[in-house]
Every structure is written in C-alpha cells, then in structure tokens.
Amino acid sequence: MFKSARSILDDKLALIGLSTIIILLVIAICAPSVSPYDPMKINLQERLSPPSLEHPMGTDDLGRDYLSRIIYGTRISMTAAALITMISLIIGLIVGTASGYFGGIVDETLMRIVDIMLAFPSLIITIAIAGILGPTFENLIIAMTVTGWVGYSRLIRSSVLLVKEQDFVVSSKAIGCSDLRVVFDHIVPNAIAPIVVLATLDMGNVILGLCGMSFLGLGAQPPTPEWGSMLEAGKPFMESMPTLMIFPGLMIMITVMAFNFLGDGLRDALDPRIKAKVEI
Amino acid sequence: MNSYIIKRMLAAVPVMIGISLLSYSLLYISPGDPAEILLRLQLGTVNPDAAAVEAFRAEHGLNDPIYIQYGNWLGNVLKGDMGRSFRTGRPVIEEFFARFPLTFQLVLIAEILALLIAVPLGIVSSSMHNSVVDHILRFFALIGVSMPSFWLGLLLIFFISLHLRLIPVLSYGSSMSLVLPITTLCIGSAASIMRLTRASMLEVLRQNYIRTARAKGVNEVQVIWHHAFRNALIPVITIFGIHLGHLAGGTVIVETIFSWPGVGRFLVDSIYARDFPVIQGFVFLISLIFLLISLSIDIAYSVFDPRIRYDVPKLER
C-alpha cells in the first residue's frame, strides 16, 4: 500500500487529479462561505453582464451571479454523485455477497437478474425511468441507482468468491461462527475495499451522466444551480453570452477529468504487471 | 463449435423475456393509475370521469391481472404489433423503423471513423510507452473521455457554425449536416477506443511469446503488427461492439443538440408526452438490438478465437 501511495505521488497526472478533487470537495463543502453572492438572487438590472471584477463569471439571463451558481453546482453534483455511488454500492454489496457466499440457487437467480439488467443499454433505461417517474432530481438519482448497482454486484460477487476460500474464513466457519458473523466480520471487510476505491473513482462518470440527464431536462430543473441544467439554460444565449455555456461545461470536464486522472494513476499503481513492464 | 452457438442463443432467451417484462412494466412505475393517465392523454381532458375510466379499463383489459396484460402485450409484439403512438397515431413499429436508419447512419460512420483513428494511435502510444508521445496521446485521450458530449456538441456549433460559419446550424437534409454530430460522437468513442487499445497492447507486449519473438531477432515492427496487434484487438472489438450496440439509444444527447430526427430523440419526446406505447416499444426494440449485437459479437469471437469456446465454463465462474 505504501508503495502504491508512493507511485501515485510520482505520477504527476494522478497528483493533479487528486489535488483537483480535494479542491472541488473543499469548494463543495464551503459553498455558502466561498460564493460571493446568493446563487438564487435575481437581479434584473444586471442581466447577462459579461465577466467583470464584481462578477468574475458574469451573470445569467436573470442577473444571478454565475460564479456563485457554479460553486453551488459543485456541491450539488458531488453530493448527488456520492449518494448514487453509495446506494448502488450498498445494493451491489447485498446482492453480490448473497450471491457469492450462498451460491447455488440464490446465486443463479440473482445473477440471471443481473444478466438481464446488463443486457439493457443503461442510458435508455435511465432516461425511461427518470422520465416516467417525472423529471425531478430525486427521480434522476433513483433512476441512476437502478442501473448503477448491477455492475458492482458482479464485482463484489467475484471478490467474495475469492475471499470465501481463504483460510481465515474457512476456520471461522469451522469454529462455529454464524453465517451472518462470517459475512459481516470476515468477508465483507476484505472483499469490498478495492471495490470501494474503484467506485469512488467512477464518480466522474456518474457526474457526467447526471449532468447529461439534467441537460436533457430529465434531472435538476431550473432554478437549481446544477451544471447540466445551467448549460441547457445558457444555450439560447450562445451567441450573445457564450460564457454561460462555457463555464458549466468546463467545470463538468475538469471534475470528470480529475477523477479519470486519479483513477488511471491508481490502476497503474495497483497493477504490478504494468509496472514490471516499465522496469524491463 | 455449433453447440457453443446454440448454448449462447438459448441463454439469450430468458434475457429477452426479461427485457420484454421490464419494458412492459415501465407503464406501471408511472405515478398514478395507468388507465387514467392513458385516457387523459387520449382525450386531452384534465379529469376524465370515473365511468369513462372504468369503461376504458374494461375495454383495454386493464382489470385483468398484470401477467395476463403482459401476456397480451407480448403476444401482440410477437405478431409485430406494438400498438399505436398516441401522438402521431401511427404504429410504433413504423415509427421506429422510419427513424432507425437515421440513427444507425450516424453511429456507424462515427464508430468506423473512431476505430480508424484510435487503433493506430493506441498502437503508437503503447509501442512508445512512457515516452513524450505516449504522454501527449494519453493526455488527449483522457480529455476525450472526460469531455461531456453535450458540451462538445455545443462548442462545435459555437465555433464551427456561429464563429467560422462553415456549416449552418440547422442543416438537416444536406450531407454537411452529418459532419458535426458525427464529429461529436466520434471524438468520445475514439478516445475510449484508443485508451483500450493502448492498455490491451501493453498487456500483450509483456507476454512470453513476444519476448521470444524479440529474442529470435524479429524486428520491432513485425513484433507489434504481426504478433501483438492481433491478440490485442480482441477487447477492442468488444468495445466497438458495445458502442455499436448503444447505437439505438446512446445518441439521444447528440440527436437532441443537433435536432437530428432519430430514434433517441423521438423516445425522449415521447417520454415528455407520456406516449406509453412508444416508450414501451422503443425501449424493447432498442434493448433487443443491443442484445442481438452483443450475441453476434460473442459468436463471432468463438469463430475467430478458439480459446473462448473452450473456456466458457471458466469464464462464467
């Protein structure tokens, strides 16, 4: 682990990714104190003003300070992505552990369901569910969770299968531990660690999905300062005030890129085979 | 060989049933009574009276248990009847196949271009691992996968249509209208195919048989093209297939930005309008195409790569 930490620090791209994520998290947590204005405060006197010292990113069509809205957008995207990832992981953990630990008919049934879910193009299902439930941000989170847990349950299942055969699990069963105790004390902690790391890194893609859906109008609705819906709202002013569409898009890209940078670095660091090749 | 294909096809049957079940049940996750929603849509009245709702239920078999309703729907689907769109009044199947070629055209051109650009770049990147070229290519590929397609599309409209005035914004119908949507789709795909090719090549290049070839004195170009490339291509084809499989739906965002009258856009419009026959039918057909493409890719593999046929049980566990 120490070695991986070292090689992450050596990898400049990964380091950039990590620092960006930390900065974004700080911005998200401190949104009320770092944003210069109230993101919802309408000021029709200052509609569509270009970037200036007072409003570093200008104002939108209702005179709201764009920088403040972008900052609150960080908070919304990060929270929603974390929520989706967490709920997906919990469902994936329950299904994957049950499937891997009990095997047999439980495994067969659960994995057939997973197969069916994987056979759907996930974007279409997300759109359909979010749209039919009604376009709100909460429903979008539900829709993305419905498709999100599937992949994790597969990963966790195979991880559980590996851990299950190890001596400490076999011996704890031999001394008469209950199934519940074996699962929660021995299997889950050992099977889930690498997957939690991967899931965190996948948050970039979750944010991409969230903003895409909101852009389509199937997620956060105006006036919520969410990047995707801000981009959509800025679209009509593309010619007169292109900054309205440039800043939210830039923020989405920076965020997703930061997660990808770190993810790439981490995968390289955790995969000793690729490192071996470098040394040759 | 044949038994593998048959096994694979049989395994697809329960998945198909699952797909149809989920597509059908989309009507029931909608908040509210389906009969009331459908009636309101058909009549355009705000609150249909109770007697009309009851009559509608009886007429459309909505009082039957859900599994019977589903059975009826499936029976009709198998006969090629998915009902009619509330909005246009035309059969859902007709609506789908009128739009599918438009979406298919976009995706096919974009994906083939992406493959032609990305695979050579991925190979260059991997054969110069950790060089400046590799870092630059890797950086651009990362930008490509992190770029939201909706933003890229808007930027292209902004710079190419509004700023340079090369292509009119709404030019559907002319062949120029293909350029921007295809570029948007292509950049994202090319970036992910390049990353995968690179990773897959790096994996293959450290195998023993590559070392043997090098030790024999085979020159590097031969090693890369002849020995490594072919084996590295397998995961690349998988991703290509998955991208193609998303063809029916993955273009929703691009179709919306460029007002492209394809399948995805019609689906989103139908969702807004709560046009349930279209939603159910389109989701079912899109998923079915997705399934058939992944099935044919699996089968194609087993023809090209004998290891896959023999390893099936191991791969499953």
pLDDT in tens, B43-84: 666 666 777 777 777 776 677 777 888 888 888 888 888 888
Of A117-121, B164-168, B246-250, B267-271, least confident by mean pLDDT is B246-250
pLDDT given for residue A199 in this prediction? 83
Residue A12 falls within a domain, yes or no? no
Band of residue B308 on the pLDDT scale cut at 50, 70, 90:
low
Is the four-CA dihedral B243, B245, B248, B252 of positive or negative sign? Answer: negative
pTM of the model: 0.86
Which of A72-86, A104-118, B34-48, B277-291 tops mean pLDDT?
A72-86
User: Considering CB atoms only, which of A123, A204, A248 is closest to B250?
Assistant: A123
Residue A269 falls within a domain, yes or no? no
Residue A14 falls within a domain, yes or no? no
Residue A275 falls within a domain, yes or no? no
Q: Which two tokens stand for residue B279?
A: 């939603």
pLDDT given for residue A280 in this prediction? 31
Q: Is B317 exposed, middle or buried (0-12, 13-18, 19+ CB in 10 A)?
A: exposed
Q: Average pLDDT of A81-103? A: 92
pLDDT given for residue A65 in this prediction? 86
Q: Tens of pLDDT along B129-138?
A: 888 888 899 8
Band of residue B315 on the pLDDT scale cut at 50, 70, 90:
very low
Which CATH number do you get for residue A89?
A: 1.10.3720.10
In angstroms, what separates the C-alpha of B289 from chain A's closest C-alpha?
10
Is the four-CA dihedral B196, B199, B202, B204 of positive or negative sign? Answer: negative
User: Considering CB atoms only, which of A132, A228, A246 is closest to B29?
Assistant: A132
Mean pLDDT of chain A: 84
Band of residue A1 on the pLDDT scale cut at 50, 70, 90:
very low
Residue B121 or B305, more confident? B121
Band of residue B314 on the pLDDT scale cut at 50, 70, 90:
very low
B129: left (phi over 0), alpha (psi -120 to 50) or beta: beta
CATH class belonging to B99-264: mainly alpha
Residue A8 falls within a domain, yes or no? no
> What letter would DSSP give residue A49?
P
Of A172-176, B174-178, B242-246, B302-306, least confident by mean pLDDT is B302-306
Q: Tens of pLDDT along B125-161?
A: 988 888 888 889 988 998 898 898 889 999 998 888 8
**% of chain B residues with pLDDT over 90:** 12
Chain B residue with minimum CA distance to A227? B151
Asked casually if ipTM beats, i.e. exceeds, 0.85, the reply is no
Identify the domain containing residue A53 by its residue range: 23-254
pLDDT given for residue B317 in this prediction? 34
CB under 8 Å to A212, separation ≥6 — which residues? A228, B148, B149, B150, B253
Residue A98 has pLDDT above 60, yes or no: yes
How many domains does chain A divide into?
A: 1
User: Considering CB atoms only, which of A115, A121, A228 is closest to B286?
Assistant: A121
In angstroms, what separates the C-alpha of A145 from chain B's closest C-alpha?
15
Is the four-CA dihedral B301, B304, B308, B309 of positive or negative sign? Answer: positive
User: Considering CB atoms only, which of B148, B162, B287 is closest to A249?
Assistant: B148
- B279 and A128 within 8 Å at the Cβ level: the answer is yes
Residue A30 has pLDDT above 60, yes or no: yes
Residue B289 has pLDDT above 90, yes or no: no
| Other residues' Cβ atoms within 10 Å of the Cβ of residue A53 | 5
Residue B307 has pLDDT above 70, yes or no: no
Q: Which two tokens stand for residue B75?
A: 């029976």
Grouping H, G, I as helix, E, B as strand and the rest as coil, residue B174 is strand
Give the rounded distance of the alpha carbon of B19 from its chain centre.
15
Of A56-60, A272-276, B206-210, least confident by mean pLDDT is A272-276
Residue A267 falls within a domain, yes or no? no
Residue A13 falls within a domain, yes or no? no
pLDDT given for residue A27 in this prediction? 92
Chain B residues close to A20, C-beta within 8 Å: none
Residue B165 has pLDDT above 50, yes or no: yes
Mutate to test the interface with A, among B143, B150, B152, B202 (most CBs of A within 10 A): B150
In angstroms, what separates the C-alpha of A211 from chain B's closest C-alpha?
9
